[in-house]
Amino acid sequence: MFNKIFRSGFITSMVVLVMSFLLIFGVLFEYFETRMFDELQSEAKYIAYTVEKNGISVIDDFDTDNKRITVISADGTVLTDTVKEAKELENHSDRKEIIDAISNGSGKSTRYSNTLTEMTLYYAEQLSDGNILRVSTTQNSIIVILLSILHPVLVIVAIAVILSLILSYRISNSIIKPINAINLDNPTANDTYEELTPLLKKLSVQKDTIDRQIKDAHQKREEFKLITENMSEGLIVIDKNANVLSYNRAAVKLLEVQNVKAVGVLAFNRTKEFRDTVYGALSGERRENCINHGENTYNLTANPVYDNDKIIGAVIVIIDITESVKREQLRREFTSNVSHELKTPLTSISGFAEMLKNGGVSEDTVIDFSTSIYDEAQRLIGLVSDIMKLSELDEKSSSIEKENVNLLELSQEIAERFTPVAKKQNVTINVSGDVAYVYGVKKILDEMIYNLCDNAIKYNKENGNADIIVKTNKSHTTICVKDTGIGIPNAEQGRVFERFYRVDKSHSKIIGGTGLGLAIVKHAAAFHNAEISLKSTEGVGTEITVTFEN
Ligand code: ADP
C-alpha cells in the first residue's frame, strides 16, 4: 500500500510538472509569436507608407537587419527582394499571406524550414497600386528554443523530481503510518486523521459482527459437544473419504476403541456389517444394521450427509440394544414356557374329563378323577396367578401408592397364614428381629415374603424350621428367610431366580411349584431397589436375604 500511494503521488506530481511546463512554454511561445507579428505589421505599415511615397526603389535604402522585404505584383511575380535577385525567385501567387493580402488587404503566415529548426513569420500588405509588400523575419523554432533551455530545464526537473520524491514519501508515510498503527481490537478508539473515521467505524461494526459470530459458533460447538458427550448413544461423523471428523465418548466406550487418534472410521470397528453400513451411507443410502460386540448387541444407523446434492460425509449412530435383545429373547422363552406349563395340566384335565364324559366309571374313580381335575385346575390357577403377578411387576406398577410398611408385622401376618400348612408338614415357623419400616408397596412386599416362606416350608424336611428375621440399622433393613430344608445344589443356585426354573421339576410339581416364586421375589426386590443374596447348602438348608436401603 505504501508503494502504491508513493508511486501514484510521485507519478501525479511528475505529470503535473511536465504538463505545466509544456503549457507555460506553449503559452509563452504563442505570446512571443503574436508580438513578432505585431512588430512585423507596424514595420510593414511604415515601409508601405515610404514605398507609396517614394516608389519601390526606396526598399534598397532600408537597413533590413534581420528582416527581409519583398514586393510582389498582384500576379505573384516578385518585383524586388532585399535578400535575393527578384528574377531568381519563383512566382509567389500560391503563398498564403499573398492570397490573404489580395483578398483582405493583409495576410500573415508562418512556415518552417526543412529541418524544422527555424521558422519564418510573414506579414503581407496590399499597396494602393495593387502590388503586395511582404516583410518577413526568422526565428528559432520551438524545438530549438526548448533545446537551448534544456540545461536549466533539466536542473529544474531534477530539483522537482527530488522534491516530489521527498514529498510523496512523506505524504505516503503520513497516510500509511496511522493505518498500520490501527488497533483492530478497538478500532474507534484510534486517534487518526479524519478521513479514516468511516473506515474505522466500518471496522468496528465488522469486528462486532465477527465477534458475535465467533461467540455464536463457539456456543453452538459447546452445545453440540455437551449434547453429544452426554449421549448414551455413540456418534461418529465422517467425511466422504470415511475419515473421522468427530466422535463422542460413547462411541469410543461402546466399541472399545483403543487408538482413538486414528483417522479412518474402520479404527472403530472392522466387521463386515459396520463396513457395509458406513460405505452404504457414503454411497447415498440410509443404512441400518446390528453388530455384535463381545456380549453386547448394537444397532447401527448411518445416514449420508449432503451439501448441494453432493455427499460430503455420513453420520453414524450406535445404540446399545443388548438389553432389549435380551428382553425380547426372554419374552420368547417365557411365552414358550407358559404354553408348555399350561399345556400339561390342561391335557390331564382334558383326559380325565373325557373319561368321565364317556361314562362307565365307578363312583370311586369318579371321585379320584374329580380330585385330579380339581388339583390340576388349582395348579393352573396358581400358575396363572403367578404369571399375572409377574406381568404386573414387569409393568413396574408405578401407579401403585407407596407407604411405610412394617416388615416385622407383615412377616408375622404371613407366618400366621402359613401356620396350618407348616403344621401339616411339621415345620416350625418363627418370626423375630427388629421393628423395621420399608417405604414400598405392601402388596408386593407381601408377595415377596410369602413366596420366600412358601419355599422355606415346601422345600423343608420333617420337623424342620423356617425362620423369618427382620433387622435394621442406620443404612439398611434386611429380611432373611432361613430354613433347614433340602438346600439348593451349588450349580443351580445361579439359576433358581429364572422364570420357570426348578431344580427338581417332578418334585416341584408334586408340591405345587410353578417355578415362578423366586422370579416374583427377584422382581419385587428390584421394584424396591433391594438386593438379594442366597446362601444354601444341599441337605442343610437355605437362607435368602433381601437388603433394602434406608
Ligand atoms: P417353585 O414354584 O417351583 O418353588 P421357585 O421359583 O420358587 O419355584 O423356586 C425355583 C426352584 O428353586 C424350586 O423349584 C426349588 O427347586 C428351588 N428352591 C427355591 N427355594 C428353595 C428352598 N428354600 N430350598 C430348596 N430349594 C429351593
Ligand 1 site residues (CB inside 6 A) read 451, 455-456, 459, 483, 485-488, 496, 501-504, 508, 513-519, 542
Alpha helices in 230-321 (DSSP H): 249-255, 272-282
Cβ atoms within 10 Å, residue 547: 16
Distance from residue 407's CA to the centre of ligand 1 (Å): 22
Pocket test for ligand 1, best of 386, 454, 488, 520 (most atoms within 8 A of CB): 488
- Comparing C-alpha atoms, which of 319, 348, 9, 309 is closest to residue 164? 9
Distance from residue 505's CA to the centre of ligand 1 (Å): 10
> Can you tell me the distance from the alpha carbon of 90 to that of 95, in angstroms, rounded to the nearest whole number?
11
Average pLDDT over residues 433-455: 94
Model pLDDT for residues 99-146, shown as the tens digit of each residue: 999 999 999 999 987 766 788 999 999 999 999 999 998 887 667 777
Pairing, β 428-433 against β 465-472: parallel
Average pLDDT over residues 457-464: 94
Using alpha carbons, list the distances in angstroms from residue 486 to 289, 432, 481: 49, 23, 14
Average pLDDT over residues 294-312: 94
Task: Give the DSSP per-residue string, 41-89.
Answer: HHHHHHHHHHHHHH-GGGGGGS--TTEEEEEE-TTS-EEEESSS-GGGS
Average pLDDT over residues 251-255: 92
Strand partners, 255: none
- CA torsion angle for 327, 328, 333, 338 (degrees, to 10)? 90
Pocket test for ligand 1, best of 341, 380, 427, 455 (most atoms within 8 A of CB): 455
Angle, alpha carbons 26-27-31 (nearest 5°): 115
> Can you tell me the distance from the alpha carbon of 516 to that of 257, in angstroms, rounded to the nearest whole number?
41
- Comparing C-alpha atoms, which of 58, 35, 65 is closest to residue 133? 58
The model's confidence at residue 262, banded by pLDDT at 50, 70 and 90, is low
Distance from residue 431's CA to the centre of ligand 1 (Å): 21
- pLDDT for position 106: 93
The model's confidence at residue 340, banded by pLDDT at 50, 70 and 90, is confident
Average pLDDT over residues 209-225: 93
pLDDT for 396 beyond 70: no
Rounded to a whole number of angstroms, the distance between the first and last alpha carbons of the chain is: 79
Computed over every residue of the chain, the mean pLDDT equals: 89
Q: For 120, which DSSP code?
A: E
Among 1-10, 162-171, 522-531, the range scoring the smallest mean pLDDT is 1-10
pLDDT for 217 beyond 70: yes
Strand partners, 547: 478, 531
The model's confidence at residue 87, banded by pLDDT at 50, 70 and 90, is confident
Among 50-64, 84-98, 225-239, the range scoring the smallest mean pLDDT is 50-64
Q: What percent of the chain has pLDDT over 70?
A: 98
8 Å CB contact between 51 and 71:
yes
Average pLDDT over residues 256-280: 87
- pLDDT for position 397: 56
Return the C-alpha cell found at 127.
Answer: 499597396
> Can you tell me the distance from the alpha carbon of 550 to that of 548, in angstroms, rounded to the nearest whole number?
6
Among protein residues, the one with the nearest Cα to ligand 1's atom 25 is: 487
pLDDT for 226 beyond 60: yes
- pLDDT for position 116: 67
Cβ atoms within 10 Å, residue 433: 18
Strand partners, 108: 123
Dihedrals φ, ψ of 432, to 5°? -150, 175
Angle, alpha carbons 526-527-533 (nearest 5°): 30
The model's confidence at residue 361, banded by pLDDT at 50, 70 and 90, is confident
**Which atom of ligand 1 approaches the CA of 451 most closely?**
7
Q: How far is CA 146 from the centre of its chain?
A: 72
Average pLDDT over residues 443-455: 94
- pLDDT for position 371: 92
- pLDDT for position 398: 56
- pLDDT for position 225: 87
The model's confidence at residue 469, banded by pLDDT at 50, 70 and 90, is very high
Q: Is 284 left (phi over 0), alpha (psi -120 to 50) or beta?
A: left
Helices and strands in the chain: count of H runs, count of E runs: 13, 17
Among protein residues, the one with the nearest Cα to ligand 1's atom 4 is: 513
Among 159-163, 262-266, 414-418, 519-523, the range scoring the smallest mean pLDDT is 262-266
Task: Give the DSSP per-residue string, 479-502.
Answer: EEEEE-SS---GGGTTTTTSTT--
